[in-house]
A = this chain, B = another copy of it.
């Protein structure tokens, strides 16, 4: 027994859309990623996400079961580009400058392209999520460990200053590369135009960071006179 009468068959959707499941899922995931990043899990609204993807809320349930399912899907997809294969390339470089440049470049690119992901990660870590924690430890920790070991070795070789903890060197490197992305909105409010974001500006900032790293950490014997 039907619980209600079949609403008079509208001679269908005014806005008929071609059927395309993968495309629809992608649109949903995109919208969800933005929403979750901006408002956090609890603050995100399914209706908002569905609207942004221009589908009905129900489709979310159809594809991802429930809100958590969507969230997990977003995280998994967002986290997958956390491939650090790039690191292997770096390994081949021999001297600090090339190493630093490669590392900084990789970091900046990652931060520039995955701000949503990182916002979510921050949220998750504050909320104590073990999922994200595990993924990070699996994918990023090896890179970080290798980077630290590499710094230590460079110190032993006398290429880098030895009076500073190698971990600190890495942290400071990451700080210089990443902070402007993380706090970009704030910086731009406080100092208008402080963090421009064209490709050219990015390159310029990369150069500045690398030069600063060289000056800060290269052993004095290796210091070249600052070019003017």
Contacts and interface: CB of A to CB of B under 8 A. Distances in A.
A45 B216 CA distance: 47
B145 A185 contact: no
Contacts of A216: 212, 215-216
Contact of A40 (B43, B141, B162, B228): B43
A189 to B, nearest CB: 5
Contacts of A41: 39, 43
Given A40-B40, A40-B43, A178-B179, 20 more contacts: A38-B126, A41-B43, A42-B44, A42-B45, A119-B126, A121-B186, A133-B189, A137-B190, A148-B191, A161-B215, A162-B228, A164-B208, A165-B208, A168-B205, A171-B187, A172-B176, A178-B183, A182-B182, A212-B217, A220-B225
Interface residues of A, number: 61
A124 to B, nearest CB: 9
A174 B144 CA distance: 23
Contacts of A183: 122, 174, 178, 182
How many copies, total? 2
Instruction: Determine chain A's interface SS by DSSP, over half rule.
Output: helix
